[in-house]
């Protein structure tokens, strides 16, 4: 079933906060293009339209990854959105979970045991349900729940979610995916871009805290590079 996209003031605005600071920097909105983007992923008819089971597998060592570009950014074209991918990010192809539009391995910071994982997908589901599901993957310090911010760009709201603690992995794992040992000092930085009243685009970086912090500027540039094309 094809998605029924609608335009939000002609452009879907994208914003990013850095660590949920009190005074987030202004981020220019992406440029809306008039031509249709090339969809190189699984067709919408083959994907679920809800986010309840999305991204339910932790990455495994057996996944196929593309080699990072030689110091040059690359372009990622999805159904309604295009990004400029920073050099060094390794695309997982195919993604570890079929519902994902794309997935990347983000090289770990010095001293970290694990790489970061960036997932991208368009799906249905509400903000509260998404935050609740992501929060359930962490053991957070007492009294420190997920941090959320709403950034207004024009008439459009973009959500930033920041979760920190011990990462336990998704409770609902894909078949054949083993549970992971708890990983302390982890962080999740997610951006939720509204597409329609019932759908949104989710960008989520999960990894050791030092790795996520080291890549926040790249993540900000990645989101800022977005170009959205919605069917008329």
pLDDT in tens, 109-153: 999 999 999 999 998 878 889 999 999 999 997 778 899 988 754
Count of structural domains within the chain: 1
pLDDT, tens digit, 9 for 90 and up, residues 148-196: 988 754 466 778 899 999 999 987 776 667 789 999 999 999 999 888 8
Per the domain annotation, does 21 fall within a domain?
no
pLDDT, tens digit, 9 for 90 and up, residues 73-103: 799 999 888 999 999 999 999 998 889 999 9
Give the separation between CA 105 and CA 22, rounded to whole angstroms: 30
Give the separation between CA 44 and CA 123, rounded to whole angstroms: 10
Which residues face 186 on adjacent strands? 165, 208
> In the numeric block, which tokens belong to residue 9?
């003031």
Per the domain annotation, does 63 fall within a domain?
no
Of 92 and 37, more confident: 92
Per the domain annotation, does 139 fall within a domain?
yes
pTM for the model stands at 0.73
Per the domain annotation, does 150 fall within a domain?
yes
Per the domain annotation, does 142 fall within a domain?
yes
């Amino acid at each position: 079933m094809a998605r029924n996209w609608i335009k939000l003031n002609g452009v879907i605005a994208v914003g990013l906060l850095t660590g949920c600071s009190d005074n987030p920097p202004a981020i220019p909105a992406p440029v809306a293009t008039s031509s249709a983007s090339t969809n190189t992923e699984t067709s919408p008819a083959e994907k679920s339209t809800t986010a309840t089971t999305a991204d339910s597998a932790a990455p495994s060592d057996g996944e196929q990854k593309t080699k990072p570009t030689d110091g040059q950014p690359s372009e990622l074209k999805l159904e309604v959105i295009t990004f400029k991918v920073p050099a060094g990010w390794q695309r997982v192809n195919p993604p570890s979970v079929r519902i994902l539009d794309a997935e990347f391995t983000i090289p770990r910071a010095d001293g970290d045991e694990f790489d970061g994982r960036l997932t991208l997908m368009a799906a249905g589901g509400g903000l509260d349900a998404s935050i609740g599901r992501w929060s359930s993957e962490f053991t957070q310090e007492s009294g420190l729940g997920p941090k959320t911010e709403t950034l207004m760009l024009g008439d459009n709201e973009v959500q930033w979610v920041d979760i920190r603690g011990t990462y336990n992995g998704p409770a609902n794992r894909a078949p054949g995916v083993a549970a992971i040992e708890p990983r302390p000092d982890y962080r999740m930085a997610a951006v939720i871009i509204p597409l329609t009243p019932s759908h949104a685009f989710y960008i989520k970086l999960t990894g050791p805290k030092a790795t996520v912090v080291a890549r926040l500027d790249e993540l900000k540039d990645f989101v800022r590079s977005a170009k959205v094309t919605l069917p008329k």
